[in-house]
Amino acid sequence: MASPPRRVSSLLYSLSPLLLSRSSYTYSSIIHALPFCPPLFLSPFLSLSSSSMAPELQQEEDYITGPEAPHKTRVTVVGSGNWGSVAAKLIASNTLRLSSFHDEVRMWVFEETLPSGEKLTDAINRNNENVKYLPGIKLGKNVVADPDLENAVNGANMLVFVTPHQFMEGICRRLVGKVKADVEAISLIKGMEVKMEGPCMISTLISQQLGINCCVLMGANIANEIAVEKFSEATVGYRENKEIAQKWVQLFSTSYFIVTPIQDVEGVELCGTLKNVVAIAAGFVDGLEMGNNTKAAIMRIGLREMKAFSKMLFSSVKDTTFFESCGVADLITTCLGGRNRKVAEAFARSGGKRSFDELEAEMLQGQKLQGVSTAKEVYEVLSHRGWLDFFPLFATVHEICIGTLPPSAIVEHSERTPKI
């Protein structure tokens, strides 16, 4: 009888004696040790630096213990929705294990009162789970919810921002002067701010307003699946400091959540932002029961527009970024199972008669859509720069969302041949 398929995480563990050995193992010797695996499949996992491996595969010899131990790094998660809670769970599992980090992970919670009358923060701390946004999942006893933003970030050396993007400008204003210049940040936020002078990515907003470096983490990451520890990947985008990128990789990585760093902040962040617009289009296709061929075509066209828009805004964006988890993988999973697709499907089934605000409130239990607001922001950029004819899919999604066009127009955009 054939052996059952092995999880990729198990495969990584099977490699650990080779990867952690001081011997000079070559690429080919590792491949020969695993003849059942093609080299192309293994190549992302075989760097001897093991930067993107599950942290159990990494040695911790660089960490000093005892009287000479360096100051321990404190981490705060700014945000406590579905994805924010999962991020806190991932991080908390690693801060307990890594000696360079303080055990406690603080999580800022936008305070709410539950139907029972209990404060959400109190419920999280009492139950060790986010009973509203991630019920049934234990976050880790070292996660401490805090409704006071300034107190939550006080003393933190690493800040993880994971809130709806439309709230970030206000959050940053509240934190001005409250964060030290040597603090490192990472944004898990999909979206952008559109200002008179042009679009501003959330990582740039954080860096400019708080005066700190900000990386980004994006990927094919449906939060509920990661919460129950199903295998997934993500991409960390960094600017210049690869060492801090490796530290973020170490903080997020687990045996079921593999993280890879690449030097392309704008590319990674725009992939995470723009895929939500394409997911809205995919939802329209599902709601109108147009079939898998149509949906695949919409996804392909969407990926083409994502790449073109990103490179027209930032010439530094790399083509290879679109083949990372933050690119095509995130696009696929969001168009198959994300909340933007789900609500857009309901919108199309109603013939556009029910608003996205109404459907969001009914279907998402307090979570926020990103695709509709991002489509509006992208449309503003396209209109201001005279690029509407270059991006017929992006333009059509926004026009359907605001009621200018019916949902069925999502496939008629092909008549407007892009000039890319």
- CA-to-CA distance for 341 and 70, rounded, in angstroms? 46
- The DSSP symbol for 254 reads B
The residue written with tokens 């993500």 in the block is 234
Asked if 140 contacts 125 with a C-beta cutoff of 8 angstroms, the reply is: no
Query: What amino acid occupies position 275?
Result: K
Hunting for tokens 């990674």 — which residue is that?
268
89 flagged as catalytic: no
Count the Cβ atoms, other than its own, within 10 Å of residue 332: 16
**Counting beta carbons within 10 angstroms of the beta carbon of residue 109, is it exposed (0 to 12), middle (13 to 18) or buried (19 or more)?**
buried
Give the C-alpha separation, 192 to 377, whole Å: 7
Structural tokens at position 396: 């059509």
Catalytic residue among 89, 132, 190, 275: 275
Angle at 361 between CA 400 and CA 135, to 5 degrees: 130
Residues recorded for the chain: 420
Residue matched to tokens 């509709």: 372
387-393: which pairs have CB atoms within 8 A and are 24 or more residues apart? 387/312, 389/416, 389/418, 389/419, 390/308, 390/312, 390/418, 390/419, 390/420, 391/305, 391/308, 391/309, 391/418, 392/416, 392/417, 392/418, 393/278, 393/281, 393/298, 393/301, 393/302, 393/305
Q: Is 208 helix (H, G, I), strand (E, B) or coil?
A: helix
Other CB atoms within 10 A of residue 184 CB: 20
What's the distance, CA 284 to chain centroid?
23
What are the residue numbers of the active site?
A: 275
